Amino acid sequence: MEEIISLCKRRGFIFPGSDVYGGFAGTWDFGPLGVALKKKIMDEWWDYFVESRDDIYGVDAAILMNPRTWVASGHTATFADPLVECKECKSRFRADKIADGISESVTTEEFLATHTKCPVCGKENWGPIRKFNMMFTTHVGAVLPDDDAEIAEKNIAYLRPETAQGIFTNYKNIVDTIYPDIPFGLAQQGKAFRNEISPRDFILRDRECSQMEIEYFVRPDNWEAEFEKMYQACDDFFKNRMGLDLGNINHLEVAPEDRAHYSKRTVDFMFNYPNGEEELMGLAYRTDFDLTNIARESGKSMDYRDKVTGEAFVPHVIEPSIGVERLVLAVLSTAYTEDEVNGEKRVVLKLPENLAPYRFCVSPLLKNKPELVAKAKEVYEILRKKYVNVTWDDSGNIGKRYRKQDEIGTPKCVVIDFDTLEDNTVTVRDRDTTEQTRVSINEL
């Protein structure tokens, strides 16, 4: 993990948030290459689950939502982690993350029985387990909390802890406007905010993240078949679009006591990250929990009326939910490789071509030869028009350029040399094999 973190900062993928001011815990900034990788991952997901299907539609809901949303969803009452405080040094932790063999529903007695020592001071002197609600609160409007406590209370809003509720609150709008055939899904990508007790493990557990979620609305009596279809689709996406080894993904059936309050079945896709196994994605059967609660809270019907039979019913929901940053790290972890070339250690990101920030790097063999630079610029423009994601590099010797492009995952390096001026061919060097081939410019 340390090597990946170092590479990400050194090559402009990911930086600590507010780094110039000493950072801000639980936040991360994506640099030029990180943005490119993240966008490609999100675009691949959108293409696979939305653009390539005729039963899933996109929405983009507001981050700030009516606070009643979070009452109906259960987040106000239940979206909490087990917080424990060390009485010696006053450090606070999420209990289930510092002790072995316990779950999120751990009691004080169960935690104390593990005899866990404080990661900071090494003492074993704990206070009771307390539930810590992870939603960020804010105030909407011009009234400040100190002005009028009662009015300020009414103006409380939350930064959304998930994108799912923006989908559910738009379910009726979609049914009323485009009236899709059931089963159908609504997909959304966007920011979510969780006030983590102890953010850690790089971008695995942060306070501001991006999510990709689908709410797939199905007939209540057909949820199991549709669940299996989505299960298989997610595996196919990970393998064939993200280049992940399915052998590194453990499909964990979550026990009833550990499932979210809305779920009747959940499968966690656990990925073998460099620091151990962590959740990559969750696939949950949410029943009609959300739509029924919205109907109760809003007083509006959430029925779907069958186009053929006229039957009215509240659909049940299957939800695949992926944290984008977790997927970025899974892709980086899979791609990160160290090998040896000509007796020297080489770091290479073997990213799939569809995810690599740059498809090609174009270089003149020597940057102080105007004729080579001019020809290289011609090739660069040709490739830019065809492939878009092309970079230029003329710094240092050609070996150093190759090493740099290996580290950022560029699949092919194209070098213009003196032979190019004679026969219009270039050297194409492969990232993974380091083999070099002469290719006509017209065949690039």
Residue 260 has pLDDT above 80, yes or no: no
- Topology (CATH level 3) of domain 2-64+162-332: BirA Bifunctional Protein; domain 2 (3.30.930)
Q: Where are the domains of the chain?
A: 2-64+162-332, 358-443
Tens digit of pLDDT for each residue in 65-113?
Answer: 998 898 888 887 777 788 999 999 999 898 988 998 888 788 999 999 9
Tens digit of pLDDT for each residue in 395-440?
Answer: 989 999 999 999 999 999 999 999 999 999 999 999 999 999 999 9
pLDDT at 147: 61
Q: pTM of the predicted model, to two decimals?
A: 0.89
- Topology (CATH level 3) of domain 358-443: Rossmann fold (3.40.50)
What does the DSSP assignment read for 360-424?
EEEEES-TT-HHHHHHHHHHHHHHHHHHS-EEE--SS-HHHHHHHHHHHT-SEEEEE-HHHHHHS
Distance CA 303, CA 314 (A): 5
DSSP 64: B
β-strands 344-349, 276-287 pairing: unpaired
| Reported confidence tier of residue 141, pLDDT bands at 50, 70, 90 | confident
For the chain, percent of residues with pLDDT exceeding 70: 97
Q: Which of 229, 267, 263 minimizes the C-alpha distance to 251?
A: 267
Residue 148 has pLDDT above 80, yes or no: no
Instruction: Report whether 98 contacts 115 (CB < 8 A).
Output: no
Classify the phi-psi angles of 146: left when phi > 0, otherwise alpha if psi is within -120 to 50, otherwise beta: alpha
pLDDT at 146: 62
Tens digit of pLDDT for each residue in 202-224?
Answer: 999 899 999 999 999 999 999 99
pLDDT at 389: 95
Locate tokens 């815990």: which residue? 25
pLDDT at 139: 82
DSSP 314: P
The mean-pLDDT minimum among 102-116, 132-146, 203-217, 270-284 falls in 132-146
What does the DSSP assignment read for 129-197?
-EEEE-PEEEE-SS--TTT-HHHHHHTEEEE-S-SHHHHHTTHHHHHHHT-PPSSEEEEEEEEEE---S
N-term to C-term CA, the chain = 36
Shared fold status for 2-64+162-332 and 358-443: no
How high does pLDDT run on average in the chain? 93
As a whole number, mean pLDDT of residues 15-44 equals 95
Buried b (16+ CB within 10 A) or exposed e, 20-38: eeeeeebbbebeebbebbb
